[in-house]
């Protein structure tokens, strides 16, 4: 549970709290951190709790502290501090959120089951079932044998997330626990710091963001960045300190102008300057390929007004004061983010031509923006009704339970949940104007499953903006979506190729796993016959070919083969192509050379769209094929198809070793996605050249995924390697022509191997 804990007993450690390292980051730019990582004191904790808890509840909390202190007696942290300082610090963070007595008790007891072998029934007897359930949900599964550390981590997250789905306080205490651990991570070895920081960035940061816990989200993100990339962190931090003095005059002038303009308009508002986080600055530099000096909007401003109407009045006042930048306005009040966040965002051209971002919100919106579900974690408000944020949070938590019911494997469960954690979203409407938020790239079928699993399972087509559309159609912001269903419709393995959400993917796999064997055999037979028909082969497999097929695939019977196709374990077209290859070999043996050549000429390539499941088809990383490339496919021993560009050097070497495992592959007419490819650019080493190049790639409707730099040639030239996303070879050719025209570009070529 605790990555910074140690079970090493200390012979003479008194039961007291001790000072920890000072906090590196405030929870918010507007206020100091609550007790951060100062002296972990029971007296201070009790004083904080006394502000909102009853004496009877305080008595129970003190009892939990004494029990935890006794259990952890002699245990120290890696830093050498008595271990009890950690549970107290976690409880202090929870107290700042005004969590109830049960959650505070769980914070104090959260490691006793894992570290001290305290049984759950003992906790139930001493502190009650709700507290024991919270502690159990926070405890790791160290006593169970796992096949790998990855499986163990996946199972730990699965257990924690399911406990969170039943009681949101589990994740609040867990995030407080992780926050204190990250604040005191310096005591760990560099390798362990990086591992814990990466885990925090990949799982806990997105969870905090998804629940609207923006204070925790930002601090965990900053701490993770400082441990993952310490040199980059220190470099940007130093540059930011230097920039503060240079930009103080600009910030002061903007603050004064805005306050005066709002006063003249009769709008009561608080105006606050805020500095972007170091990770936010780094991410912008990386994504837009900018130097620090080119990131002009390091500072932003927040305007907090009294009511809803004043938000839009303040927006008009700001637009009259400074010119707004086109396309830089977002209304998250009319359409809140998934985590309940509401604000108006606008970017204005401030003094000296500096772009300045403003956020406008009410006091209530500000509370939710900073603390999310922790701002009102109780399930109902005074009227007994769920708020919009609580309804959205509960809907997401319920989806975790739905995924769990449909998923037996912990790693698969975590994969589905991670898909839904990342914040990029598209907002669409039902025919009754209900807003549905989905991950960017989601399809009409994802929408169907988001409404109800039964609607997804029986979907046959969609109507988008009142026009008929296929289920795989990607949705865009503002689409009005309706789903047509049929009682006879059922999920097929092909659906896995284009769904985006974890809920849809797990529901489809669940259906395919649980369908009756006879139904799976029938479905598999139908899919294989369709694939055989495409290849102009008879639907009935000759006995001799069937025997060889079963021997080479390791399947016991043809019925078992059909069943595996039916549940998505095998790709029907690959099996059909295997049969085609066996028949061609048979023709080669039994017929004259001319007839065998004729049989080979009838072998048709496997058609791919690029959206097939990675368990069936993989695009080779050595050459990164894109639509328009001539292809060659390698049938690997794990029954997957790896697709190369036909003239790939790696593929040529492997083909020389195992000629019989290679087949022709071609692109489908409709691939409906973008593909990565690598280009190499030889560029004159001059100021602004990289920025011009990145801008041209962006103008060519391509996204930069990665950029690397080789050593300069005689100090005059720089060779840059870009990984970009394009639609096909035509798009790539257009991109390369445009880049070639950029000033300073000497040569550009596509990198194949």
Catalytic residue among 81, 92, 115, 155: 115
Q: Is 344 left (phi over 0), alpha (psi -120 to 50) or beta?
A: beta
* DSSP reduced 3-state for 320: helix
Secondary structure letter of residue 465 according to DSSP:
T
* Cα–Cα nearest to 666, from 635, 623, 630: 630
For residues 729 and 188, what is the distance between their CA atoms, to the nearest angstrom?
Answer: 49
Count other C-beta atoms under 10 Å from residue 709's C-beta. 11
**159 and 114 Cβ atoms separated by less than 8 Å:** no
Quick one: tokens of 696? 């041209």
Between vectors from CA 689 to CA 685 and to CA 695, what angle results, nearest 5°? 155
On whether the CB atoms of residues 386 and 400 are closer than 8 A, the answer is: no
- What SS3 state is found at 297? coil
Say if strands 617-619 and 481-485 run parallel, antiparallel, or are unpaired.
unpaired
Calpha distance 626→624 (Å, rounded): 7
Name the token pair of 573.
């077209």
* CA 103 – CA 201 distance, rounded (Å): 25
Show the tokens assigned to 253: 């002038």
Taking the C-alpha atoms of residue 520 and residue 705, their distance in angstroms, rounded to an integer, is 40
Q: How far apart are CA 182 and CA 194, in angstroms?
A: 11
Compute CA 214 distance to the chain's CA centroid, rounded to the nearest angstrom. 16
Structural contact between residues 154 and 404, judged by C-beta atoms closer than 8 angstroms: no
Q: Give the strand pairing for 717-726 and 745-751.
A: unpaired
Contact in structure between 442 and 183 (CB atoms under 8 Å): no
Strands 662-667 and 606-608: parallel
What SS3 state is found at 127? helix
Rounded-to-integer distance, Cα 168 and Cα 379, Å? 9
Active site residue 402: no
The one catalytic residue in 111, 114, 357, 420 is: 114
Known catalytic membership, residue 711: no
User: What is the three-state SS of 695-752?
Assistant: HHHHHCCCEEEEEEECCCECCCEEEEEEEEEECCHHHHHHHHHHHHCCCCEEEEEEEC
Question: How many Å apart are CA 482 and CA 479, to the nearest integer?
Answer: 10
- By DSSP bridging, strand 617-619 and strand 641-645 are parallel
End-to-end CA distance of the chain: 43
Q: How many residues does the chain have?
A: 753
Tokens 């690598």 belong to residue: 678
Distances (CA, A) of 80 to 4, 17, 18, 41, 196: 11, 12, 10, 17, 19
**Cα–Cα distance measured from residue 260 to residue 318, given in angstroms and rounded to the nearest whole number:** 11
Integer Rg of the chain from CA: 30
Q: CA 200 to CA 205: how far, in whole Å? A: 6
Nearest of 280, 340, 344, 351 to residue 309 by alpha carbon = 344
As annotated, the active-site residues are 114-115
């Amino acid at each position: 549970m605790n990555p910074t804990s140690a079970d090493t007993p200390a012979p003479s450690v008194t039961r007291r709290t001790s000072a920890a390292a000072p906090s590196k980051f405030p929870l918010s730019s507007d206020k100091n951190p609550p007790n951060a990582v100062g002296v972990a004191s029971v007296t201070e904790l009790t004083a904080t709790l006394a502000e909102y808890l009853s004496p009877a509840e305080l008595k129970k909390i003190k009892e939990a502290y004494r029990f935890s202190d006794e259990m952890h007696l002699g245990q120290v942290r890696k830093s050498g501090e008595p271990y009890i300082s950690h549970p107290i610090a976690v409880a202090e963070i929870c107290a700042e959120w005004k969590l109830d007595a049960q959650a505070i008790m769980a914070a104090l007891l959260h490691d006793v089951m894992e570290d001290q072998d305290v049984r759950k029934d003992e906790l139930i007897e001493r502190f009650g079932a709700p507290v024991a359930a919270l502690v159990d949900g926070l405890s790791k599964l160290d006593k169970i044998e796992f096949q790998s550390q990855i499986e163990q981590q996946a199972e730990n997250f699965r257990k924690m997330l399911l406990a969170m789905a039943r009681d949101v306080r589990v994740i609040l205490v867990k995030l407080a626990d992780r926050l204190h651990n990250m604040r005191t991570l310096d005591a760990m070895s560099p390798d362990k710091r990086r591992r814990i920081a990466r885990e925090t960035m990949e799982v806990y940061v997105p969870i905090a963001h998804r629940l609207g816990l923006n204070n925790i989200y930002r601090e965990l993100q900053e701490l993770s960045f400082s441990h993952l990339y310490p040199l980059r962190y220190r470099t940007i931090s130093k540059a930011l300190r230097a920039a503060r003095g240079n930009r103080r005059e600009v910030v002061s002038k903007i603050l004064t102008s805005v306050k005066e303009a709002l006063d003249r308009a009769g709008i009561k508002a608080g105006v606050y300057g805020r500095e972007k986080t170091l990770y936010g600055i780094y991410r912008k530099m990386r994504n837009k390929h900018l130097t620090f000096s080119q990131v002009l909007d390091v500072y932003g401003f927040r305007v907090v007004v009294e009511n809803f109407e004043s938000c839009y009045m303040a927006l008009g006042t700001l637009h009259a004061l400074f010119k707004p930048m086109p396309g830089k306005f977002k209304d998250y009040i009319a359409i809140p983010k998934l985590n309940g966040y509401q604000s108006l965002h606008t970017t204005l051209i401030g003094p000296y031509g500096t772009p300045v971002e403003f956020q406008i919100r009410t006091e209530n919106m500000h509370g939710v923006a900073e603390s999310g579900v922790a701002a009102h974690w109780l399930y109902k408000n005074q009227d007994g009704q769920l708020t919009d944020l609580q309804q959205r949070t509960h809907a997401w938590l319920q989806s975790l339970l739905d995924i769990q019911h449909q998923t037996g494997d912990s790693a698969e469960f975590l994969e589905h949940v991670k898909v839904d954690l990342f914040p990029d979203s598209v907002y669409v409407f039902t025919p009754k104007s209900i807003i549905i938020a989905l991950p960017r790239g989601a399809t009409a079928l994802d929408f169907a499953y988001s409404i109800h699993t039964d609607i997804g399972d029986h979907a046959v087509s969609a109507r988008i903006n009142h026009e008929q559309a296929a289920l795989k159609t990607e949705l865009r912001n503002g689409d009005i979506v309706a789903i047509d269903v049929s009682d006879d419709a059922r999920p097929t393995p092909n659906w896995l190729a284009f769904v985006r959400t974890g809920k849809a993917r797990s529901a489809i796999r669940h259906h395919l796993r649980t369908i009756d064997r006879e139904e799976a055999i029938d479905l598999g037979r139908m899919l294989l016959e369709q694939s055989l028909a495409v290849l102009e082969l008879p639907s009935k497999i000759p006995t001799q070919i069937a025997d060889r097929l079963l021997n080479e695939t390791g399947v016991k019977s043809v019925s078992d083969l059909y069943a595996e196709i039916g549940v998505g374990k095998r790709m029907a077209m690959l099996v059909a192509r295997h049969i085609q290859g066996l028949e061609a070999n048979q023709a080669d043996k039994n017929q004259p050379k001319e007839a065998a050549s004729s049989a080979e000429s009838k072998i048709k390539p496997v058609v791919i769209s690029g959206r097939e499941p990675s368990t069936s088809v993989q695009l080779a990383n050595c050459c990164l094929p894109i639509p328009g490339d001539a292809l060659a496919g390698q049938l690997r021993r794990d029954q997957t198809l790896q697709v190369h560009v036909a003239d790939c050097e790696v593929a040529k070497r492997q083909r020389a070793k195992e000629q019989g495992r290679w087949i022709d592959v071609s692109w489908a007419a409709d691939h409906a996605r973008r593909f990565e490819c690598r280009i190499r650019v030889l560029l004159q080493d001059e100021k602004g050249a990289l920025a011009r190049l990145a801008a041209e790639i962006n103008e060519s409707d391509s996204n930069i995924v990665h950029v690397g730099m080789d050593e300069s040639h005689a100090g005059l030239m720089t060779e840059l390697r870009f990984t970009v996303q394009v639609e096909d070879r035509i798009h790539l050719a257009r991109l390369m022509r445009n880049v070639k025209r950029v000033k300073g570009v000497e040569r550009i070529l596509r990198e194949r191997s």
